[in-house]
């Protein structure tokens, strides 16, 4: 059952912009708002027993998503729902950029899970990748914010539902390819 809930939660996160667009542009689809709130709360429940910064941030984002979904439904204020991607980018920026001021940046911590004895070159690489992700969240969050302030649902949906995912995928793929190239040169 846990795997089903986890899959539904992941699918909802990916489909969030489409769900928002449908529920705000087609009154017959308003039922998606309480459904989204329930999925956000299920996500919160799945993270409830976990410790650490990532689960804590995930719990707060889940609560925020549920609150935005329900407040949009009850207050009939559609623009509230559009702010979720801005919040996600702000949290991710705090997580990545904040880790740059710690002993070990986030990407290095993740890399050490697979390779505990990371060479100095790898340490420098992971710090740079953490900086690049921080820059990505600044740019992506800024554009998400601009689409909210413009209150243009079409642009909001395109950016937050397609373009940002494509850019994120390109960044992940590009970093992976460069890392593979760097490993073969070492």
Q: What is the pLDDT of residue 54?
A: 75
CA distance 32 to 186: 51
Per-residue confidence band for 1, with pLDDT thresholds at 50, 70 and 90? low
pTM, two decimal places: 0.84
Q: How large is the average pLDDT for residues 37-49?
A: 85
Separation of alpha carbons 169 and 173, rounded Å: 6
What's the longest Cα–Cα distance across the chain? 58
Supply the pLDDT for residue 67: 92
DSSP code of 161? I
* Orientation angle between helical segments 164-185 and 120-150, nearest 10 degrees: 170
Any residues with CB less than 8 A from the CB of 64 and at least 6 apart, and which?
A: 84, 87
* Under 8 Å between Cβ of 144 and 96: no
Task: Tell me what pLDDT residue 186 has.
Answer: 62
pLDDT at residue 36 tops 90: no
Q: What is the pLDDT of residue 18?
A: 82
């Amino acid at each position: 059952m846990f795997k089903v809930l986890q899959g539904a939660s992941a699918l909802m996160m990916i489909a969030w912009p489409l769900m928002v667009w449908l529920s705000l542009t087609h009154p017959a689809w308003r039922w998606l708002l309480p459904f989204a709130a329930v999925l956000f709360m299920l996500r919160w429940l799945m993270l409830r027993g976990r410790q650490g910064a990532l689960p804590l941030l995930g719990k707060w984002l889940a609560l925020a998503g549920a609150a935005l979904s329900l407040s949009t439904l009850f207050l009939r204020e559609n623009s509230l729902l559009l702010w979720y991607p801005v919040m996600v980018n702000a949290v991710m920026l705090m997580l990545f950029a904040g880790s740059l001021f710690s002993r070990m940046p986030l990407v290095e911590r993740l890399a050490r899970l697979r390779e505990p004895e990371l060479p100095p070159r790898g340490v420098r690489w992971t710090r740079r990748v953490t900086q690049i992700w921080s820059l990505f969240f600044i740019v992506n969050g800024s554009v998400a914010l601009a689409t909210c302030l413009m209150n243009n649902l079409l642009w909001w949906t395109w950016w937050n539902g397609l373009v940002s995912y494509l850019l994120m995928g390109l960044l992940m793929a590009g970093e992976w390819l460069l890392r593979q190239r760097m490993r073969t040169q070492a």
